[in-house]
Amino acid sequence: MQSLTEIRTLLTERGLAPRRRFGQNFLHDHNQLKRLVDASGIRAGDRVLEVGPGTGTLTETLVEAGAGVVASEIDPGLADLVEERLGDRITLVRGDCLGRGRRLAPELQTALGEEPFTLVANLPYQIASPLMIELLLRHPNCLGQFVTIQREVAERLTAPEGTRARGPLGILASTFGSVERIGDVPASCFWPQPKIVSSMVSIRPDRRDDVDPDGFARFITMLFASRRKQLGRILGRDVDLPDGIETTARPETLDNEQLLRLFARCGT
């Protein structure tokens, strides 16, 4: 694994520097990197998607574990660096991992093909939520996600009903998968140090054939746009709600199964 000194040297030699625009905070703590890879259970021959490889610290760890890595890098300078160091050992896709409509970029979909894969990545904060939901809802070949993200996002992923952190992200993740907090990662483990604490989480998919994920996502997003309003004000006082759900209830107080029943009755 690359040390912090090596990361700085690799960038300096190429006239590069961390770019806030792309959320570049490089995880350099070897224990934390090993923790993430170990949690993923990656074995030799497994296919792995990494988004935002940076200088390739995690990428090298995955390659050494025998994984077949597809890496997506939006920063041209870092893409050149990774290609120079690992180009013959990985599949590198240059550009944004998300394309039109915040769906997986066509070039990345082509590179992944039809083989099962696992996401293992230190995700840039600004694309973490849409990417995780995209893979969970629309890509059955994604066997799981093991990622480092902003702790606030991890809290939203695991928030129980009735709490302020609960919203569409956590509801969708826990409806179509199981979420587990692996642990927190102090800011000191990154360079440059971010102003926030990060967390490692895993999302393992739980495929459901009884509900339209895109329709449910739209319905939940609509409800939680007015999360403090009563259902009667959002859906109309004359709406025929499922048993056990009152028009005076607020979206944030309902559990996942109640929301699914509400969607089945009132979703469009």
Domain ranges across the chain: 4-205, 213-266
The reply to whether CATH 1.10.8.100 applies to domain 213-266 is yes
CA-closest candidate to residue 150, choices 93, 196, 116: 196
CA 151 to the chain's CA centroid: 12
Provide the residue count of the chain: 268
Decide if pLDDT at 125 tops 90.
no
Report CA-CA distances (Å) from 40 to 43, 46, 67.
Answer: 9, 11, 12
Residue-wise pLDDT for 25-76, tens only, equals: 999 999 999 999 999 999 999 999 999 999 999 999 999 999 999 999 999 9
In CATH terms, the fold of domain 4-205 is Rossmann fold (3.40.50)
Residue-wise pLDDT for 216-242, tens only, equals: 999 999 999 998 899 999 999 888 999
Residue 268 pLDDT level (bands cut at 50, 70, 90): low
Nearest-angstrom CA–CA distance, 7 and 54? 9
Question: Dihedral (C-alpha) 95, 145, 201, 38: value to the nearest 10 degrees?
Answer: -110
